[in-house]
Amino acid sequence: MWDFMVTNPDNGTYVINIVDTTGAKIGFYTTETISADADASTVQDAINGFYSSVWDCDVNVTRTLFDADAVEIDDAANATQMLYTVTVLKQMAGFSTSGVSVRSTADEDKGTNATEASIKTTPPTRGQMSSAPFNGTFTVTCTDSFAREYTSVPINFDASRNEIERYLQTIPFLVDNIEVLLDDRFAYRENGISF
């Protein structure tokens, strides 16, 4: 998760530069121009370009509005500060980015001027880490009607639905009595599995 604060938002534009550390050489991704008073979904769409192309995942962006007294409000027209919080939706083992910066810039195609708003990013100093992704193996323990516990053989975390079903059939009372359905509770397998 990282965030940035837009102070005194106007309708001028800026871009976000995101450092890509996935390759042998450090690369940079620059978003399309974003209005300084943009809603959360507009910022999310701009940032998703980086995360979908580099990490094959999406982000969620929320916007919190504050008035001149730093009190949280609901009306964007009265906001003097807009805090955008970016959450990466896929758990990964390394940094999702090691740096983020913002640059005020005009957009001739949109007919906008460079924003005069102050924009401050607050990414972590050592890179943006996520929660560790799930991997390895797991087992399932079931209890039969006589209160006896049975545990499956280890199942690889990236196993398909058919493989999970086959491994669960190693539990005697489940043989030919079970069907496994993945419920897609987790958008990315790295985040978990539910069936």
Q: What is the pLDDT of residue 125?
A: 47
Q: Residue 150's beta-bridge partner residues?
A: 142
Looking from the CA of 131 toward its CB, the CA atoms found within 13 Å total: 12
Rounded CA-CA distance 99/19 in Å is 5
How far is residue 123's CA from residue 125's CA, in Å, rounded to a whole number?
A: 6
The predicted pLDDT at position 15 comes to 95
Q: Say what the pLDDT of residue 39 is.
A: 97
The Cα 55–Cα 48 span in angstroms is 10
> If we measure between CA atoms, which residue out of 18, 36, 15 comes closest to residue 27?
18
Chain CA centroid to CA 101, Å: 18
Count Cβ atoms within 10 A of the Cβ of residue 93 and give its class: 0-12 exposed, 13-18 middle, 19 or more buried.
exposed
Ranges under pLDDT 50 in the chain: 125-128
Query: What's the pLDDT at 44?
Result: 95
